[in-house]
Chain A
Amino acid sequence: MTLNTVGRPTRMEEGVSAASEYLHPTLTGARGLLQDEPLIFELGGWEKTGVDLPDCDASQSDDLGDLVRTARIGLPGLSEPETLRHYVRLSQKNHAIDLALYPLGSCTMKHNPRLNEKMARLPGFADIHPLQPESTVQGALSLMDRLAHWLKTLTGMPAVALSPKAGAHGELCGLLAIRAAHEAKGDARKTVLVPMSAHGTNPATAAFVGYQVVEIAQTDDGRVDLADLEAKLHDDVAAVMVTNPNTCGLFERDIIEIARLTHAVGAYFYCDGANFNAIVGRVRPGDLGVDAMHINLHKTFSTPHGGGGPGAGPVVLSAALAPFAPTPWIVSTGEGGFDLIEEAKADAAQTFGRMCAFHGQMGMFVRAYAYMRSHGADGLRQVAHDAVLNANYIKASLKDLMTQPFPDGPCMHEALFDDAWLDGTGVTTLDFAKAMIDEGFHPMTMYFPLVVHGAMLIEPTETESRAELDRFITAVRALATAAKAGDAERFKAAPFHAPLRRLDETQAARKPRLRWTPQAA
């Protein structure tokens, strides 16, 4: 045995086998750092509190009459380390962009630069309140004005509404502006056209705004069918919603013609900007005839998907829709200062109203602006370039093993595969995705877009290095080879190494347990 100077063994004794029966289960059920973690309510601590509050003046409670509480309110009383550990343990059960490549297609799970976080925590941005006098938040308003300038410049559009708080909220904003524009002309229209490959939020938003949704067919090469679009366009169509690049990862080559046809019947052209990261700095949607487009700051401009707070989905608007933009917006006072236009009068007389109580998501504005400024205009062009290059590297590296619905030509920012290559293996897209968890990667987007059977949509984003892409490709190739070699068992019961194994998604959807209730003592 090797001993160090204080007599402590420094390596495993010879002749000891790493016997597998001790691997699992352990005596406590934990697996090293991977520990079972109850809900915070199950941790309890009803009898104690983690904070030191002064004693309550009992005479005050007389004022409450019979509203005085007589029983405990049932909040867990945990100390700071207990609380912290609870959330850190929970966070360790999930995949994260800070752990490994997160190829969830259409979601653009790119690295969240730490510089953004540092900027967002500057007190002038972080420690302000929406009800503060405008004169005391001029720096924050200046940043919002600069962000608006960049968004308008990058899209070639004259106006932007910063307040929507997510992509779908942005869609709602765009369609409300479109509805207001039609109504201002005394022309209430009833229909919105949406292609088959659209994000589900597009038809949902149109229906929410009160429109009838009609689907546009798709061509064999995965794009909008112009003939079908033309056949369905008429003077009752309020808007056409198209995602470009679309959810098949393909550029809509006929986009200018789509815009022309749309405008010819007096409808507006809504572009779903979810995939703007593929064309930022290279294509200006305003030049294509787009009337409204939301921009997911958490996709194209690297703000966190959750975790760092709610999202932001600013909407750029054409000159035709700009008068109907939601309040508030920022104007320069002409003396180096900024005002918020909050009321529906003067230039804002035609606004359709507000999307939310205040001006939007300040923390996300700061992060997105930090990302823009740290890349610069040339850097943002390269973002689009690298996002497309990385996706095509994956497409080219997997095409001999996996089948593609649209194999011809390059893709944009994401590579789409189908499940034809799994025929006869007994492995489904779902099984394959679960096995990826065991290999340390978040699964790709599966079964979306709906127009492709057993779809697997892989979006690497621009922030992955060649080495990380190769690591991912090696893992997927090994899994694909195993599936084809008849190793279905590896897939059917996967994941083996996740905190929880295969979940019953059907029961989770049919009979979700959304509420914790205390067990009877």
Chain B
Amino acid sequence: MRFTKDHEWVLVDGDIATVGITAYAAEQLGDVVFVETPEVGKSVAKGDNMAVVESVKAASDVYAPVSGEVIESNAELSSAPETVNAVPEAGGWFAKIKLSDPSEVDELMDKTAYDAFLEGL
């Protein structure tokens, strides 16, 4: 699993990247009450607004950590947004993206680097 400074995670399987927000992000947001996941078929570039997550405290944009085409979004989140708090780095995934440039993944932080990044916050 790879991570961004904006607290998104990416898990790559072949050329498909599953994307979500990290446990740290979910905890900082507090109870999530609404998630707007991207439409299937949408092309996203790295850094684009990809989704919106709204908690009792705040509404935040979720940025695409990698570029590509959205091939699946997590329909469960519309009826059960609390999944993001319960299992942020597993069942609380937001979207699956077919990578257009797999080398982008290498630029992201690994677990050790992300943990060190969190320490510094």
Contact = CB atoms under 8 A, between A and B. Distances in A.
Contacts of B58: 447, 450
Interface string A346-362: 00000000000000000
A505 interface: yes
Contacts of B34: 509
Interface string B45-66: 0000000000011111000000
B88 interface: no
| Interface hub of A447, A450, A510 (most chain B Cβ within 10 A) | A510
A510 B81 contact: yes
Interface residues of A, number: 7
B59 A510 contact: no
Interface string A490-521: 00000000000000011001100000000000
Interface string A396-410: 000000000000000
Nearest to B121: A453
B31 interface: yes
Interface in B79-113: 81-82
Contacts of A450: 58, 60
Contacts of B82: 506, 510
B57 A509 contact: no
A510 B82 CA distance: 9
Identify whether the interface residues of B are mostly helix, strand, loop, or mixed. loop
A38 interface: no
Contacts of A506: 31, 33, 56, 82
Contacts of B59: 200
A509 B56 CA distance: 7
Contacts of B56: 505-506, 509
Contacts of A447: 57-58
Contacts of B31: 505-506, 509
B33 A510 contact: yes
A63 to B, nearest CB: 48
Interface in A432-476: 447, 450
A506 B31 CA distance: 6
Identify whether the interface residues of A are mostly helix, strand, loop, or mixed. helix
A419 to B, nearest CB: 12
A447 B58 CA distance: 8
A450 B33 CA distance: 17
B74 to A, nearest CB: 17
A450 B34 CA distance: 18
A58 to B, nearest CB: 51
A450 B60 CA distance: 9
Nearest to A454: B57
Interface in B1-57: 31, 33-34, 56-57
A138 B56 CA distance: 49
A505 to B, nearest CB: 5
A509 B34 CA distance: 9
A303 B65 CA distance: 46
A506 B59 CA distance: 14
Contacts of A505: 31, 56
Contacts of B33: 506, 509-510
Nearest to B58: A450
A506 B30 CA distance: 9
Nearest to B57: A447
Contacts of B81: 510
Nearest to B60: A450
A509 B59 CA distance: 13
A511 to B, nearest CB: 10
Nearest to A429: B57
Contacts of A509: 31, 33-34, 56
A211 B120 CA distance: 35
Contacts of B60: 450
B56 to A, nearest CB: 5
A505 B34 CA distance: 13
A127 B81 CA distance: 50
Contacts of A510: 33, 81-82
A212 to B, nearest CB: 9
A506 B34 CA distance: 10
Nearest to B85: A506
A510 B59 CA distance: 14
| Interface hub of B56, B58, B59 (most chain A Cβ within 10 A) | B56
| Interface hub of B31, B57, B58 (most chain A Cβ within 10 A) | B57
A471 B81 CA distance: 42
A200 B60 CA distance: 10
A143 B27 CA distance: 53
B101 to A, nearest CB: 22
A447 B60 CA distance: 13
Interface in A140-157: none
A443 to B, nearest CB: 14
B59 to A, nearest CB: 7
A291 to B, nearest CB: 26
Nearest to B34: A509
18 contacts: A200-B59, A447-B57, A447-B58, A450-B58, A450-B60, A505-B31, A505-B56, A506-B31, A506-B33, A506-B56, A506-B82, A509-B31, A509-B33, A509-B34, A509-B56, A510-B33, A510-B81, A510-B82
Given A505-B56, A510-B82, 6 more contacts: A200-B59, A447-B57, A447-B58, A505-B31, A506-B82, A509-B34
